[in-house]
A and B are shown apart, each in its own frame.
Chain A
Amino acid sequence: MSHPGGACFVPVWRPLLAALLLWLLAGGAAAGAAPGETRIAELVTEAEASACTVNDALVAVLCRGIIRVGVRTDYARFAERRAAHEWVGFEVDLARGLAARLGVQLELVPVTPANRIAMLAERRVDAVIGTMGHTVARDSQVRFIRPHYYASRTVIVGDRRVATDGTGDLRGLTVCVTIGNADNARIAGEGARLLLFDNPAQMLDALRLEVCTLAMHDDALFSVHLADPAFAARFTTRMVVSTLPWGMATRQEDRLARVMDILSTRWHAEGYFLALANHHGIAEGPLREEQARWQDPACLGADGAPRLECLAPPAVLLLLPSAIAPGVEVLERWLLDWLGLRVSLPMLKSQIALEVFLRGIVISLLLVAGALVATLGLALGFGAALCARHALPRLVMRALTGLLQCSPLVLLLFFGYAAVSVILPYSTGVALLLAIVMIGLYNGSHAAAGIADAHAALPPDVPPELRFRLAVRGASVQIMSFLVNATKSTSIASMIGVPELLNALTDITSFTSERVLTYSFLLVFYASLVALVVWAGGRVQRRLPA
């Protein structure tokens, strides 16, 4: 049966099959009650006795008779939706096992890395089993089930021909990433250019089509593709960025979370996780080690729940809140309550995001100011050479400006970037200066051609000492239009790694997932800069002597 939002109910036989598998793995009924089973039964009984209005996910699930579990739809071997009713994968089977143990129907709800936490917070799902890394930062947003059910390494896979050994080599290289990856902030900080994708399938397509030479994701995804000889012939794992434990998650600390804690402990000890991983062809990772750990009675409490000292810690990818974060949250709430506007300002809420954002604004302003000065200076310099009395400087300058005018700006930037790399190590300052020079050269050569045209159009009786000044005056509209063009094209400098506002906001988006307001702000910022330059230019033009 289809369901609004793309979710679907799973046929009854599947939970029964999963329950049977569980039962077999547990050694059947003859083995007696497994550790924690009594506690689970107690929690379920308590929940059944509670009124359906109680704020407890287990109560809600039992009242509804359905557990809604958020899973991915596009993650090979972990969770894939092949047709409306055909879900397969390791995490899908975990969801089935959970529903079977609770004796309720299962509703699988598609989630993405960008919305899975919001789906829990908005009570659109009861639990998420969706390749979610357990980080310290996320501990404040959801309740992670422990022990973790898997652990992946975040790796960078890339073209075999591109030499990269450590994250220090990423500067200036394009890395395809999925939005919401907690490691995006780390590699953005190393100077990588991030190309964002909504899901891993799109990201892998981009890697195959050479949209990027490197792609970052967890090794669980890449291991499937690296097993394909054709893929492995072109790509290899270039570096390990971090290790990340994966956890199931619920909205809050309640009975459902406690039941799932005990189930997760049992499933490790009984080898259910391991058996499922092998069944789906997933690398075992730390599962065998975890099985040994949870088979040890010393790691279990009296009620079968895991002891804290045996639990693997979450990854420390903490986005510390900024000093103004509380104020920003108040503003967001006020906008929602009073104006009904759901506004999210992630660029102001964490220290790293605020730092990147403010630096982006400062660098954008420097870039625009520098590009304007360079364009005007080079226009006058080139213009003077194009209007020179001697033929040699005129010819040389005509060839140079011809080359510059007819080269796409993006190409000029990359040419300059490659040429400068021969003599200077990359730094933000070098990239900024280079961008200013290249934008100035491109627009200055166009404006200089305008000056030369105006010079050629002057009557022959104009005295030589006045000719250049009059030519500049005559070409003032052209000069102005290329000053505006220089302002408009400054954001292209992001392509060579200048951390201006576009680059900064792309980096922020990659780990905060908010895009609409972020990019709207970017558009308004740059359009305002252009409007300011047009206004200032107009004033200057009006004051020029006739």
Chain B
Amino acid sequence: MIEVLPDFLPRFFAGLAVNVEIAMLSLLVGLAAGLPLAVMLCAGPLAAGPAAAVVGLLRAAPTFVVMFFLLNAVPREYAATLGFLGDWSMTAVILSQAVYAVSYVADNGQVALRALRARDGATAVLFLPNLARAFCVLLMSSGVAAAVGTPEAIFTTIREAERMPALADRVALFLLVMLFFAVTMQAAFALINRLRFRLARALAPRG
């Protein structure tokens, strides 16, 4: 297994960059659509009702199925226009991940806006570490893009494993990548928690 690493690792990290790209763009779409929904949720019942219905629908939508739906059910002529990344499958992955991001941003944005109105800056500012947490979740879930052949990190790992004749090598490769994600994500979540803690302490009412 060790002998494949020099060839595998550069491709794996190139794939990881694709995961980061998917997560960032999904979050951007999430912010663009989720923040207006958050504002609507905090407005009167006339605006909050429809917004809550939309957020509820998005929350219930299974992203993996949404990805396949977008890929297959959207007519090709629209797909060509919407494929803003030049590749409709990549766009479908981003939009399906954004379904989660929009509902997450709307939910957390609503909490932050209410806190701002109540002059509770400490709670409101937690929106930022929550966004970082959403980014980490999107980064991990972007691995579903492997199902449609997007060359991200999980896809690269699966293809490498398919070529390994020994099952034990395949298990070892998957375990290695799992450990990588575990260490990286644990570190990221620890940083986010630290940030949350510091922000909460800095902005807590004194006295």
B151 touches A408 (CB 8 A): no
Residue A135 at the B interface, CB < 8 A?
A: no
A502 touches B68 (CB 8 A): yes
Residue A163 at the B interface, CB < 8 A?
A: yes
Q: Residues 45-87 of chain B: 1 if any A CB is under 8 Å from the residue's CB, otherwise 0?
A: 0000000000001001111111011001101100000000000
Q: Apart from A411-B154, A415-B178, A530-B61, what are 8 other A-B pairs with CB-CB below 8 Å?
A: A195-B148, A196-B72, A211-B149, A406-B186, A415-B174, A418-B161, A516-B75, A520-B73
Within 144-164 of B, Cβ neighbours of A (below 8 Å) are at 144, 146-149, 151, 154-155, 157-159, 161-163
A488 touches B141 (CB 8 A): no
On chain A, the residues within 8 Å of B186 by CB distance are 402, 406
A409 touches B143 (CB 8 A): yes
Residue B43 at the A interface, CB < 8 A?
A: no
A489 touches B182 (CB 8 A): no
Q: Residues 523-535 of chain A: 1 if any B CB is under 8 Å from the residue's CB, otherwise 0?
A: 1001100110010
Within 159-186 of A, Cβ neighbours of B (below 8 Å) are at 159, 161-163, 173
| Least Cβ–Cβ distance between B128 and chain A, in angstroms | 21
A209 touches B151 (CB 8 A): yes
B65 touches A502 (CB 8 A): yes
Interface of B is mostly: helix
A410 touches B154 (CB 8 A): yes
On chain B, the residues within 8 Å of A487 by CB distance are 62
CA distance A491 to B64 in the complex (A): 7
A411 touches B143 (CB 8 A): yes
CA distance A195 to B142 in the complex (A): 18
Which of B30-38, B112-120, B165-173 forms contacts with chain A? B165-173
The residue in B76, B143, B157, B167 that gathers the most chain A C-beta atoms within 10 A of its C-beta is: B143
Given that A527-B62, A534-B60 are known contacts, is A519 also in contact with B73, CB under 8 Å in the complex?
Answer: yes
Least CB separation from A172: chain B residue = B162
On chain A, the residues within 8 Å of B178 by CB distance are 403, 407, 411-412, 415
Given that A411-B177, A418-B167 are known contacts, is A522 also in contact with B69, CB under 8 Å in the complex?
Answer: yes
On chain B, the residues within 8 Å of A515 by CB distance are 72-73
* Interface residue total, chain B, C-beta cutoff 8 A: 49
B167 touches A410 (CB 8 A): no
The residue in A163, A415, A506 that gathers the most chain B C-beta atoms within 10 A of its C-beta is: A415
Q: Residues 211-254 of chain A: 1 if any B CB is under 8 Å from the residue's CB, otherwise 0?
A: 11100000000000000000000000000000000000000000
Interface of A is mostly: helix
B165 touches A495 (CB 8 A): no
A411 touches B174 (CB 8 A): yes
Least CB separation from A423: chain B residue = B167
29 A-B contacts, Cβ less than 8 Å apart?
A161-B163, A162-B163, A196-B72, A210-B159, A211-B149, A211-B151, A212-B149, A405-B185, A406-B140, A406-B182, A406-B185, A407-B140, A407-B178, A408-B141, A408-B154, A409-B140, A410-B154, A411-B143, A411-B178, A415-B174, A418-B170, A418-B174, A419-B171, A494-B147, A518-B72, A519-B69, A523-B66, A527-B62, A530-B60
A residues touching B (Cβ–Cβ < 8 Å)?
159, 161-163, 173, 195-196, 198, 206, 209-213, 402-403, 405-412, 414-415, 418-419, 421-422, 484, 487-492, 494-495, 502, 506, 509, 515-516, 518-520, 522-523, 526-527, 530-531, 534
Given that A410-B154, A411-B181, A415-B174 are known contacts, is A422 also in contact with B167, CB under 8 Å in the complex?
Answer: yes
| Least Cβ–Cβ distance between A401 and chain B, in angstroms | 10
Residue B179 at the A interface, CB < 8 A?
A: yes
On chain A, the residues within 8 Å of B185 by CB distance are 405-406
B69 touches A163 (CB 8 A): no
A522 touches B65 (CB 8 A): yes
On chain B, the residues within 8 Å of A509 by CB distance are 72
Least CB separation from B189: chain A residue = A406
Residue B203 at the A interface, CB < 8 A?
A: no
Given that A409-B141, A415-B171, A491-B65 are known contacts, is A403 also in contact with B182, CB under 8 Å in the complex?
Answer: yes
On chain B, the residues within 8 Å of A523 by CB distance are 61, 65-66, 69, 73
| Least Cβ–Cβ distance between A363 and chain B, in angstroms | 15
| Least Cβ–Cβ distance between A221 and chain B, in angstroms | 19
B146 touches A530 (CB 8 A): no
CA distance A106 to B146 in the complex (A): 45
A407 touches B181 (CB 8 A): yes
Residue B195 at the A interface, CB < 8 A?
A: no
Given that A406-B140, A488-B62, A506-B68 are known contacts, is A516 also in contact with B147, CB under 8 Å in the complex?
Answer: no
Q: Which 9 A-B pairs have the closest CB atoms?
A: A211-B149, A406-B185, A408-B143, A415-B174, A488-B62, A410-B143, A418-B170, A519-B73, A406-B182
Least CB separation from A197: chain B residue = B149
B60 touches A495 (CB 8 A): no
CA distance A513 to B138 in the complex (A): 32
CA distance A80 to B146 in the complex (A): 31
| Least Cβ–Cβ distance between B19 and chain A, in angstroms | 9
| Least Cβ–Cβ distance between A190 and chain B, in angstroms | 16
CA distance A410 to B147 in the complex (A): 9
CA distance A161 to B161 in the complex (A): 11
Residue B175 at the A interface, CB < 8 A?
A: yes
Least CB separation from B142: chain A residue = A408
On chain B, the residues within 8 Å of A210 by CB distance are 151, 159
| Least Cβ–Cβ distance between A409 and chain B, in angstroms | 7
Q: Which of B68, B146, B149, B165 contacts A410 (CB 8 A)?
A: B146
CA distance A210 to B157 in the complex (A): 12
| Least Cβ–Cβ distance between A234 and chain B, in angstroms | 12
B61 touches A527 (CB 8 A): yes
CA distance A526 to B141 in the complex (A): 18
Given that A519-B72, A526-B62, A526-B65 are known contacts, is A159 also in contact with B158, CB under 8 Å in the complex?
Answer: no
On chain A, the residues within 8 Å of B161 by CB distance are 414, 418
A495 touches B147 (CB 8 A): yes
| Least Cβ–Cβ distance between A511 and chain B, in angstroms | 14
Q: Which of B60, B140, B148 contacts A527 (CB 8 A)?
A: B60
| Least Cβ–Cβ distance between B119 and chain A, in angstroms | 26
| Least Cβ–Cβ distance between B74 and chain A, in angstroms | 9
On chain A, the residues within 8 Å of B63 by CB distance are 488
A206 touches B73 (CB 8 A): no
CA distance A527 to B57 in the complex (A): 8
B181 touches A492 (CB 8 A): no
B73 touches A516 (CB 8 A): yes
